[in-house]
């Protein structure tokens, strides 16, 4: 798959390019075109023209039909999408085939259903007051925001891109997407599928390139962009917010996390160990929802740590870090943890496979203990297959520790005490709290974080709310 831009219904590789490396063995895997400013301008112009033309005139029924066609197009080219996602990220094939690509299909189907079934509101009015009061019918219609920039990360490239593109299109916006420079391939395939689905020119545009100093930064500060939906690092969110400030551009932000898991002594321990291993090591910890802080009630602390260390040691078929740079960042935290006084109970280094993967960007699943809560390793997002486990004594302490973070994206509570689950879960300061499970997703539910983990909520009607604005019409009757 050769990455290409898609602007105003045409593919191009205009501009310079930079090399793409396979995270599996570090080999040269291709080249990513960097969209020059003129091409970003053209994409934004095309999106605006699309809104003024056929795409803007499409009814909600027609838009939803396009979304279903896009879902069908991904189904038809399922294996190509899986291959491309595996090639860019090195993730296990099973993950791409059971999570990433099915979720992309699910995202388009879900928003076709949700947008089509969405009611508008009416308020029959009979009030005294200004202008003599009187009877009126108020009704509220939602109109699209306009040209939406979608800027997405490398960790779940297709899933997170379509999670924004689908509701943005469903609500009637035109999109200019800028995927991560590390993972351009499935975005290009998506553009092909959208082209084959016959969306009017300008409705969807794709520009590749870097973030800071590249196409991403230029797009975020563009006067022609009416809203920005961004998923990525908190520091990048801050930079985008500054760029958006000049034009008062609304933003929806899904940012970083340092997610806690709280394991009570009454939990099904085997389930809690297995669930925590999954939540810390799946996709080598490169999911924003992954657990990096684990708090375990003291009576079961030793047994839990031993169980988790065993699972970490036995963890197989894991993918690499996305890049040499990210591998180095994660390894720098493995070193820092030791300097800060951690006990490394599992992992902590680089695995040796005896095959081409030894040239790749792998790190070992790692379990740490013994650090104070003030340690940088416990406070900063690492985004690798690593967690720190600490003991606690009672419910109050567990809630305090879980909430002692600048972030607040997701949390997991393990307990068999139903009352405790309902007491603790709402007190955890995170946008998503799972009880006795992790990453169990229903696309209608609100998704997002508090504090440094984001602004706003996506998912179901929450996404449709962000990607549209209500207009009230008051008719005297
Ligand atoms: P990143 O912030 O480095 O990059 C994300 C995207 O932003 C890329 O497309 C990049 O090119 C672009 N970008 C970078 N700098 C930019 C700038 N100044 N202006 C405009 N665009 C810019 O993030 P990443 O390394 O790709 O992803 C990992 C991070 O994303 C982690 O912090 C992770 O927690 C977070 N994340 C959060 C969620 C969530 O739902 N909360 C989901 C996935 C990832
Ligand atoms: O499941 C989702 O909808 C979602 N947005 C997941 C985000 C994962 C972050 O890496």
Residue 132: pLDDT above 80?
no
Q: Are residues 464 and 428 in the same domain?
A: no
Task: Retrieve residue 369's tokens.
Answer: 């203990």
Q: Are residues 195 and 59 in the same domain?
A: yes
Q: Is residue 444 part of a domain?
A: no
Q: Is residue 300 part of a domain?
A: yes
Q: What is the mean pLDDT of the chain?
A: 97
> What's the pLDDT at 469?
97
> Residue 411's domain spans which residues?
259-435
The residue annotated as part of the active site, out of 42, 64, 288, 387, is: 288
pTM, to two decimals: 0.98
Q: Is residue 440 part of a domain?
A: no
Residue 128: pLDDT above 90?
no
Q: How confident is the model at residue 271 (pLDDT cuts 50, 70, 90)?
A: very high
Q: Are residues 268 and 251 in the same domain?
A: no
What is the torsional sign of CA 335, 340, 341, 345? Answer: negative
Q: How far is the CA of 455 from the centre of ligand 1 (A)?
A: 14
CB-based pocket (< 6 A), ligand 1: 151-155, 160, 178-181, 210-212, 216-217, 220, 231-233, 236, 239-240, 254-257, 288, 381, 383, 409, 449, 453-454
> What's the pLDDT at 127?
85
Q: Is residue 279 part of a domain?
A: yes
The Cα 40–Cα 222 span in angstroms is 9
CATH number at residue 279: 3.40.309.10
Q: How far is the CA of 19 from the centre of ligand 2 (A)?
A: 27
Ligand 1, atom 42: closest residue by C-alpha: 288
Ligand 2, atom 7: closest residue by C-alpha: 288
Q: Are residues 241 and 313 in the same domain?
A: no
Q: Are residues 188 and 72 in the same domain?
A: yes
Q: How far is the CA of 179 from the centre of ligand 1 (A)?
A: 9
CATH number at residue 130: 3.40.605.10
Residue 348: pLDDT above 90?
yes
| Contact call for residues 136 and 474 (beta carbons, < 8 A) | yes
The Cα 78–Cα 92 span in angstroms is 16
The residue annotated as part of the active site, out of 254, 364, 381, 458, is: 254
Q: Is residue 441 part of a domain?
A: no
Domain count, the chain: 2
Q: How far is the CA of 122 from the centre of ligand 2 (A)?
A: 34
> What's the pLDDT at 15?
86
Atom of ligand 1 nearest to the CA of 213: 18
Residue 4: pLDDT above 90?
yes
User: Minimum-distance ligand to the CA of 283?
Assistant: 2
Q: Are residues 22 and 38 in the same domain?
A: yes
Per-residue pLDDT of 78-89, as tens digits, reads: 999 999 999 999
Q: Are residues 60 and 37 in the same domain?
A: yes
Q: Are residues 219 and 333 in the same domain?
A: no
What residues contact 117, with CB distance under 8 A and at least 6 apart?
none
Q: Are residues 137 and 281 in the same domain?
A: no
User: Minimum-distance ligand to the CA of 162?
Assistant: 2
Ligand 2, atom 9: closest residue by C-alpha: 288
Q: How far is the CA of 288 from the centre of ligand 2 (A)?
A: 7
CB-based pocket (< 6 A), ligand 2: 155-156, 160, 163, 287-289, 441, 447
User: For this structure, is 288 an active site residue?
Assistant: yes
Per-residue pLDDT of 203-252, as tens digits, reads: 999 999 999 999 999 999 999 999 999 999 999 999 999 999 999 999 99
> What's the pLDDT at 131?
74
What is the mean predicted confidence (pLDDT) over 157-172? Answer: 98
Count Cα atoms within 13 angstroms, Cβ side, for 367: 24
Per-residue pLDDT of 73-118, as tens digits, reads: 999 999 999 999 999 999 999 999 999 999 999 999 999 999 999 9
User: Minimum-distance ligand to the CA of 329?
Assistant: 1
Q: Are residues 379 and 467 in the same domain?
A: no
Higher-confidence residue of 312 and 131: namely 312
Q: Is residue 442 part of a domain?
A: no
Q: Are residues 24 and 58 in the same domain?
A: yes
Q: What is the 3-state secondary structure (H, E, C) of the chain?
A: CCCCEEECCEEECCCCEEEEECCCCCCEEEEEECCCHHHHHHHHHHHHHHHHCHHHHCCHHHHHHHHHHHHHHHHHCHHHHHHHHHHHHCCCHHHHHHHHHHHHHHHHHHHHHHHHCCCCEEEEEEECCHHHCEEEEEEEEEEECCEEEEECCCCCHHHHHHHHHHHHHHCCCEEEEECCCCCCHHHHHHHHHHHHHCCCCCCEEECCCCCCCCHHHHHHCCCCCCEEEEECCHHHHHHHHHHHHCCCCCEEEECCCCEEEEECCCCCHHHHHHHHHHHHHHHHHCCCCCEEEEEEEHHHHHHHHHHHHHHHHHCCCCCCCCCHHHHHHHHHHHHHHHHCCCEEEECCCCCCCCCHHHHCCCCCCEEEECCCCCCHHHHCCCCCCEEEEEEECCHHHHHHHHHCCCCCCEEEEECCCHHHHHHHHHHCCCCEEEECCCCCCCCCCCECCCHHHEECCECHHHHHHHCEEEEEEEEEC
> What's the pLDDT at 429?
98
The Cα 178–Cα 6 span in angstroms is 11
The Cα 252–Cα 237 span in angstroms is 10
Residue 398: pLDDT above 80?
yes
User: For this structure, is 437 an active site residue?
Assistant: no
Q: How far is the CA of 13 from the centre of ligand 1 (A)?
A: 23
Per-residue pLDDT of 406-444, as tens digits, reads: 999 999 999 999 999 999 999 999 999 999 999 999 999
Q: Are residues 266 and 414 in the same domain?
A: yes
């Amino acid at each position: 798959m050769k990455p290409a831009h898609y602007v105003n219904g045409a593919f191009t590789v205009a501009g310079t390019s930079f090399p793409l490396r396979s995270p599996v063995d570090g080999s040269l895997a291709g080249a990513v075109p960097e969209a020059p400013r003129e091409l970003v301008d053209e994409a934004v112009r095309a999106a605006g023209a699309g809104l003024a033309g056929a795409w803007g005139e499409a009814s909600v029924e027609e838009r939803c039909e396009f979304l279903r066609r896009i879902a069908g197009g991904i189904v038809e080219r399922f294996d190509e999408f899986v291959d491309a996602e595996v090639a860019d990220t090195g993730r296990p094939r099973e993950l791409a085939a059971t999570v990433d690509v099915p979720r992309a299909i699910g995202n388009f189907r879900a928003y076709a259903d949700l947008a089509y079934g969405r009611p508008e509101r009416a308020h029959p009015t009979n009030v005294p007051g200004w202008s003599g009061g009187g009877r009126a019918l108020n009704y509220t219609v939602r109109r699209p925001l306009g040209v939406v920039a979608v800027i997405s990360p490398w960790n779940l490239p297709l899933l997170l891109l379509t999670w924004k593109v689908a509701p943005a299109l469903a609500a009637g916006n035109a999109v200019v997407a800028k995927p991560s420079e590390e993972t351009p391939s499935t975005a290009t395939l998506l553009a092909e599928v959208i082209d084959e689905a016959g969306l009017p020119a300008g409705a969807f545009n794709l520009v590749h390139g870097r973030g800071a100093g590249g196409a991403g930064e230029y797009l975020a500060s563009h006067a022609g962009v009416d809203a920005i939906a961004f998923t990525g690092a908190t520091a990048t969110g801050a930079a985008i917010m500054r760029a958006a400030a000049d034009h008062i551009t609304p933003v929806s932000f899904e940012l970083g996390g340092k997610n806690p898991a709280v394991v009570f002594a009454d939990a099904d321990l085997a389930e809690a160990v297995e669930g925590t291993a999954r939540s810390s090591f799946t996709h080598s910890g490169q999911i924003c929802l992954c657990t990096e802080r684990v708090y375990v009630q003291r009576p079961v602390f030793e047994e839990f740590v031993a169980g988790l260390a065993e699972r970490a040691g036995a963890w197989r078929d894991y993918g690499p870090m996305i890049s040499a740079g990210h591998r180095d960042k994660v390894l720098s935290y493995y070193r820092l943890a030791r300097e800060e006084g951690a006990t490394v109970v599992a992992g902590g280094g680089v695995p040796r496979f005896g095959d081409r993967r030894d040239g790749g960007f792998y790190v070992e699943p790692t379990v740490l203990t013994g650090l104070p809560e003030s340690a940088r390793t416990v406070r900063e997002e690492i985004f690798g297959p690593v967690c720190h486990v600490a003991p606690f004594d009672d419910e109050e302490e567990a809630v305090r520790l879980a909430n002692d973070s600048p972030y607040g994206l997701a949390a997991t509570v393990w307990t068999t005490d139903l009352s405790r689950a309902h007491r603790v879960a709402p007190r955890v300061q995170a946008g998503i709290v799972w009880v006795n499970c992790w990453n169990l997703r229903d696309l209608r539910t609100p998704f997002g974080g508090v504090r440094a983990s984001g602004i706003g909520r996506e998912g179901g009607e929450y996404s449709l709310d962000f990607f549209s604005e209500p207009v009230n019409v008051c008719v005297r009757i």
